[in-house]
Amino acid sequence: MRSAMTLTLLAVTLQIPSFAQQNVPVKVTITSPTPVAKSGAPIRIDVSVLNLSDHVIKILKPLGFDGQAEFVNHVQVYDAQGKPLVWIAGRHSAVSRKTISVEPGKSESDFMILSNLYDMTKPGRYKVAIRHELIQFGTPRIEDMRSFVPSNTLDITVTD
């Protein structure tokens, strides 16, 4: 029914509002302590948001404990053929997300368990990218308040 919504990574980039590169106040970096994982093993993605500006900024953080970074980061996973994996986590809502302060030059980190969100049991190479949701309260134009900041792309290899 919604096969038309199967988008490529490029299409995602085009449809989601984001900062012009020169105005991005943060840098989003994803890494994994398990870049090569056995099939079925947990695959963890660490997300670091660095404040590039000269002032304190606030970034979203899910209410509650660490390990729920997917609530403030749109994550997409592609297989070796560039086909996006299907979300397996079902309904996924955040009752509340609040902001926390990040000093200039400092970064805040959180993580998600990617293998809980997508079926990555099939051996092979995967590409992972996220878009960090940035909400800047108090922005003069309210339509500018929400934006998305893309991260680097990360390779994950799943072995037998």
Which residues of the chain form contacts with other proteins (CB under 8 A)?
1-2, 4-5, 7, 12, 15-16, 58, 60, 62-65, 68, 71, 74, 76, 84, 86-87, 89-99, 133, 135, 137-138, 142, 145-146, 148
The amino acid present at 145, given as its one-letter code, is M
Nearer to other proteins, 30 or 118 (CB): 118
CB of 159 to other proteins, least distance (A): 27
The amino acid present at 119, given as its one-letter code, is D
CB of 157 to other proteins, least distance (A): 24
CB of 36 to other proteins, least distance (A): 27
Max Cα-Cα span within the chain: 53
Nearer to other proteins, 137 or 160 (CB): 137
CB of 69 to other proteins, least distance (A): 13
Nearer to other proteins, 22 or 65 (CB): 65
The amino acid present at 54, given as its one-letter code, is D
Q: What angle do CA 55, 150, 143 make, to 5 degrees?
A: 65
Nearer to other proteins, 35 or 64 (CB): 64
Nearer to other proteins, 74 or 127 (CB): 74
Residue 97, CB-side half-sphere exposure with 13 Å CA sphere: 18
Q: Which pair of structure tokens corresponds to residue 92? A: 């996924």
Residue 9 φ/ψ, nearest 5 degrees = -60, -35
Q: Of 8, 26, 20, 4, whose CA–CA distance to 132 is shortest?
A: 26
Residue 105, CB-side half-sphere exposure with 13 Å CA sphere: 1
CB of 34 to other proteins, least distance (A): 21
